[in-house]
Structure 1
């Protein structure tokens, strides 16, 4: 197979004038290979397209691209590269999205093309390039506009449009016309992005999300522009790109499975000291793969408050209680502060927390001393600490102040902790519903009633039935709804075939914090049962 492919490649070389294939390597500058001294650069020896015209209106057309890359470094064992194909306008300008195909000498994912013949010294590649179905016009001129490669010894190759022109690697395609740019919806702040930003000392970055659709050629790239006070602007770009694993992304954390229907994120950086006030998305510009552009202006979307805390400020932050009890339900914390420089009243306070739920309080009540209070909520049981990470304040004049790491603002020292669980459950009394049962009534359950006291609540139990020698003959365990005070009823299993005699019940209670207490176990383990041992007599019929 390799020899046959070599013969076909050689035939192409001899027919270069007829087929458009040109030989004579284009090489990059010399590079240094580790331990090898200076070596001959990588070179593009040949490049050709198999069809000069194609009808792509069905969406299934391909054009064969053949190329040869040479490498004079004997130590090199692998090479990877990229070939860029793009639509070219009549005036030579590039149109729309570049179409990339990747190749690798050693076959591996996600590279698309591998050698069909040759060695590292001169490797032949071939690939059936899928021609896009849509373009800006009914006829499109496509060309290979860049070839890059690198080997595992540090050699690199980049061949641009000017040098590639000698190969004539271009073709004409009949296309379906895409005359409209992309559309979008669902524009807003990305998940967990702050609505306040403190930029007095450093730039701040906000992440936005939007959903982009383009039914014809697919989405390519775009730009979001934010506008702030004093005609200040900031912008960020978004683009569908392929990562090192061959996966499409549109933004740093957003996968794209279809460029016709893509969710994207875009980061926009607002410089340090940029004017304070409300910054909003004012313009969205989107370009599809065919080069069509859609622009939406005059927006005021996803507003954020940028501040240096110069006009509106706050101080004397406090949180109470310092220790909370969430062992049996949600705990509520109160955060107080003293705002100054307020104009037209405080209209909103946003509180963010780590380990606890924040709040947005509209028009908070102002206490006689001028302070205001907002709430944080701590989930039950397992949250050991609540840390306030951000406080954002807005007044009626539109001024804002921001504090805490969540808003990149001055540090806050607002931490509350869970009241520790230091006391195991206590049993005040214990009794069995039945103390004597005939053997013929087995199997059955007796009922153990306990009067318990537990600061955090009993949530688990285990009990064991022992014979006269202290050997376990039955038992049960499990979880229960939390009981802090009062009666707790547990079932004591007595299995069929239990021999007549006297049996003792021992039990252990575990609270929600993991502390436990034991009662009635043999050999003095734990505590004695209040009121005496729990005895069940199994009698003959």
Structure 2
């Protein structure tokens, strides 16, 4: 069996990842013995070389193993052998690497039987030894074997029972001299600036770009520092998906040397109020080489229980806004209390509308402060305030609303209703008679319209004397609230001499429509009389 591409070497970033789930996941230290369910068993395990030179990047060690299954109904089996560096003190080092196998050939499992049956299947695979390690020589060993068959049988063999097989080797490596580096560390785009944690834990989420030119990134930790020496830690881990891609939080990559990751950090309920910021980042590569950035103070988030600064009497105005013909302003007011040195800022988040940050808002005579927000034009039917955060001049904060996990807000503003469908005050055609020989051509229909919310769509149809459609057009127009609106009336080649009628429909931005001039009394009559075009003989 041939050597797999380098990406497969990282299969064990989660010791089997999603592909094998619990079969291969988890630290090998915990699997000290052997657990069996059903008829599965490991009866042989060995490596064919005791030493290997991996410095070229092409070093391999062949691993042989035999798995038996006493369940005669079983027809397939999946499994993984986990290999890992082992220190002189028995401590596992760096990223675990998995050799995956299946009795029936199945991608992306690496090894299939070289001999035998389900009752006793022999496997062999040339394990690609990583080129880099933390030291020039490293001892590697099979530290875990896991398998499951299609009848529910499972097998997990840990380090204690694997010791008797002496399945280990010593490799010569290039020395991984540096740990991973990061850049572009910062909160994700929707990370709240304020978090209320009086009643429940809250989560902050960050994004990192991590590079490692040698072994490739494996895992890490991000630590937040808060008031009174409090800390909270989030873990980062590169895992492999079933399709061979790599996953780090929300991001997918195909290269462990250059990855983007998201990491969640949970701040417990009741943790000290105040500013929490990233204080430490520790990153470890696949060889076990780590890099640490300490003493940081960046990307702060304000954690509060609303115990010092508070606010009440929240209001939004107007309760109904007019954004039919442009943006509309909203004003959000509240009465803060318990603040010192004035109010430094008020942050307002809204669903569907543009929020705002008001720096040093003026405190009105009634003790209230105001913040402004903007409603986008036409299609925003409702604006809901989802978060309000306040910071006073002394740095104390308060947070309200679902966006900040704070006490609920009931602040909603809605668009004023569309009061009426469009009205046509007058209508005229620039062509009322046309020789048949000049067709095809267009006429222009000019309308004088009145519309509170604005006409933004139309359709028109040309009918013959019998009321049958012989052409037409429809589409959108630039919003027109009053004055002239010009529409194209197509007159197609082949119209026979006679009198033709134009009927049309106007639709406004609120979805209301008015019809004019359709045959047999359809819609309203056209002001000034029917729209008629006569096609004449030459």
Compute the TM-score of the two structures, normalised by the length of structure 1: 0.89
The one of the two structures with greater contact order (alpha-carbon pairs below 8 A, sep at least 6) is: 2
Task: Give the structure 1 partner of residue 352 of structure 2.
Answer: 355
Cα distance 1:180–1:540, how it changes in 2: closer, same or farther (>3 A)? same
| Greater Cα shift, 328-337 or 227-236 | 328-337
Alignment of 1:306-325 (within 5 A): 306-325=303-322
Q: 1:223 aligns with which of 216, 221, 235?
A: 221
How many aligned positions are there?
A: 508
Alpha-carbon deviations, 1:119-159, whole Å to 9, x = none? 22222222221110111122222111111222334433222
Task: Give the structure 2 partner of residue 22 of structure 1.
Answer: none
Query: Are 1:126 and 2:124 an aligned pair?
Result: yes
What is the CA-CA distance between 1:245 and the residue it aligns to? 5.0
Q: 1:381 aligns with which of 375, 378, 382?
A: 378
CA–CA distance in structure 1, aligned partners of residues 35 and 97 of structure 2: 26
Structure 1 segments of 4 or more deviating over 6 A? none
Q: 1:274 aligns with which of 265, 271, 275?
A: 271
CA–CA distance in structure 1, aligned partners of residues 126 and 316 of structure 2: 66
Cα distance 1:404–1:127, how it changes in 2: closer, same or farther (>3 A)? same
Residue ranges of structure 1 left out of the alignment (5+ in a row): 2-25, 32-38
What is the CA-CA distance between 1:298 and the residue it aligns to? 0.8
Q: 2:281 aligns with which of 281, 284, 293?
A: 284
Cα distance 1:497–1:248, how it changes in 2: closer, same or farther (>3 A)? closer
Secondary structure of 2:259's match? strand
CA–CA distance in structure 1, aligned partners of residues 143 and 136 of structure 2: 21
> Any conservation in 2 of the 1:229–1:276 contact (CA below 8 Å)?
yes
Task: Give the structure 1 partner of residue 496 of structure 2.
Answer: 499
Task: Give the structure 1 partner of residue 171 of structure 2.
Answer: 173
Task: Give the structure 2 partner of residue 87 of structure 1.
Answer: 85
Task: Give the structure 2 partner of residue 531 of structure 1.
Answer: 528
What is the CA-CA distance between 1:392 and the residue it aligns to? 1.0
Task: Give the structure 2 partner of residue 55 of structure 1.
Answer: 53
What is the CA-CA distance between 1:176 and the residue it aligns to? 1.0
Q: 1:486 aligns with which of 483, 487, 501?
A: 483
What is the CA-CA distance between 1:305 and the residue it aligns to? 0.2
| Greater Cα shift, 91-100 or 203-212 | 91-100
Q: 1:416 aligns with which of 371, 395, 413?
A: 413
| Greater Cα shift, 188-197 or 107-116 | 107-116
Cα distance 1:65–1:442, how it changes in 2: closer, same or farther (>3 A)? same
Residue ranges of structure 2 left out of the alignment (5+ in a row): 2-31
CA–CA distance in structure 2, aligned partners of residues 378 and 245 of structure 1: 44
Q: 1:403 aligns with which of 400, 418, 421?
A: 400
Q: 2:364 aligns with which of 353, 367, 370?
A: 367
Query: Are 1:461 and 2:465 an aligned pair?
Result: no
What is the CA-CA distance between 1:422 and the residue it aligns to? 4.6
What is the CA-CA distance between 1:331 and the residue it aligns to? 2.6
Secondary structure of 2:261's match? strand
Query: Are 1:197 and 2:195 an aligned pair?
Result: yes
Alpha-carbon deviations, 1:74-98, whole Å to 9, x = none? 3333322221111122333222111
Cα distance 1:30–1:330, how it changes in 2: closer, same or farther (>3 A)? same
What is the CA-CA distance between 1:27 and the residue it aligns to? 9.0
> Any conservation in 2 of the 1:150–1:157 contact (CA below 8 Å)?
yes
CA–CA distance in structure 2, aligned partners of residues 426 and 191 of structure 1: 45
Secondary structure of 2:346's match? strand
> Any conservation in 2 of the 1:28–1:43 contact (CA below 8 Å)?
no
> Any conservation in 1 of the 2:463–2:500 contact (CA below 8 Å)?
yes
CA–CA distance in structure 2, aligned partners of residues 81 and 319 of structure 1: 60
Task: Give the structure 1 partner of residue 5 of structure 2.
Answer: none
Cα distance 1:29–1:299, how it changes in 2: closer, same or farther (>3 A)? closer
Cα distance 1:538–1:243, how it changes in 2: closer, same or farther (>3 A)? closer
CA–CA distance in structure 1, aligned partners of residues 382 and 525 of structure 2: 37
